[in-house]
Structure 1
Amino acid sequence: MSPDFFKRAAQWIVGEDTGLSSISIWAHMMGVVPEDGFTSPSDPSDLGRCLRLLRSFPEWNQRIAEMADCGHGWRAIAPHWRELEQLMADEVGIDWSKGNAAPRTWARMRALLNPVKA
């Protein structure tokens, strides 16, 4: 990895568009374990932060399936990542430029994360 890559990664982790789930992706891809463990996205806002991180680091986007090894939530979400990405992009855009509520994305995430309750 180039010095530019490490600079971009360092800048991202201290930026404002972070959350526990996107930090979990960052940590896994950087080869470290978050102090509080890995957290999966729990709602469309979390998902959006993860998707925007992966837009900034496209080399990680192709490795998202690896996150399935990072806990129960990731095991449920990672196999459906492309579906969730497309659903959110269509519904509100990953930057929320098309709207301010993502009920279809939220419903699908709930169904994946809580199959017994959904």
Structure 2
Amino acid sequence: MPAPLSTLTQSLFDRAVTWIARGDRGLPSSAIWHHMMEVPYDGGAERRHYPNRLDDFTRCVLLLDLIPEWRERLREMRAYSPGWAGLIARWPELEAELRDRCGGKLDTFLIAPALEREIRRAIAQGFVNDPHFSVALKPDGTLHRAYPRDAREMMK
């Protein structure tokens, strides 16, 4: 059986390489990894993938638990999309709620509709706050759709 990923005695580089090789990954956590490691990732387009589901958010938190040095740089992800910006603004609160609900052991199979809705509301708020987007929200405050304002002008 391979050694656990949580060996913090390893260098940051070793932990990062171990995670990309064996970690439980999704597009958002991979986006964080590629950004922090400064490794090209399909021209950067995939870095826009923010965690809009609880399992993806949990994978991001698990990556940051493995490489806590990246927590202080997480705000850099705001540059990729309004969705990231909205999440980063509420990350500590959302992560605390996740940890409360998991009772200390993070689990990507956790089902917590209220927390997932809060994650999606944070994403929506990021788009609402971005003057470059026209936004339609669902009644629960989550994102229905967002269009770049320039694109809406072209559609007329």
Please classify the TM superposition score into its range, dividing by the shorter chain length: 0.7 to 0.9
Q: What TM-score do the two structures reach when normalised by structure 2?
A: 0.66
- What is aligned with 1:44? 54
Runs of 4+ in 1 over 3 A off after TM superposition: none
Q: Which AA in structure 2 matches 1:17?
A: D
1:59 to 69, 78, 103: 69
How far did residue 33 of structure 1 move? Answer: 3.8
Where relative contact order (Cα < 8 A, 6+ residues apart) is larger, the structure is 1
How far did residue 63 of structure 1 move? Answer: 1.4
- After superposition, the CA RMSD in angstroms is 2.1
Structure 2 SS opposite 1:100: coil
- What is aligned with 2:88? 78
Contact 1:77 1:113 in 2 (8 A): yes
How far did residue 85 of structure 1 move? Answer: 0.4
Q: Which runs of 5+ in 1 are unaligned?
A: none
- Report the Cα distance in structure 2 between the residues aligned to 1:104 and 1:88, rounded to whole angstroms: 11
Residues 1-118 of structure 1: matches in 2 within 5 Å? 4-35=11-42, 36-38=45-47, 39-93=49-103, 95-96=106-107, 100-115=110-125, 116-117=137-138, 118=141
Q: Which AA in structure 2 matches 1:90?
A: D
How far did residue 42 of structure 1 move? Answer: 1.1
Q: Which runs of 5+ in 2 are unaligned?
A: 1-9, 126-136, 142-156
Contact 2:79 2:85 in 1 (8 A): yes
Q: Which has the larger radius of gyration?
A: 2
Per-residue CA deviations over 1:78-108 (Å, capped at 9, x if unaligned) read 11110110111112256129x8311221110
Per-residue CA deviations over 1:7-60 (Å, capped at 9, x if unaligned) read 221111011411100001111111134214211101110010000000000100
Aligned length: 115
Q: Which AA in structure 1 matches 2:33?
A: W
Q: Which AA in structure 2 matches 1:37?
A: E
Contact 2:27 2:46 in 1 (8 A): no
Percent identity between the two aligned chains: 34
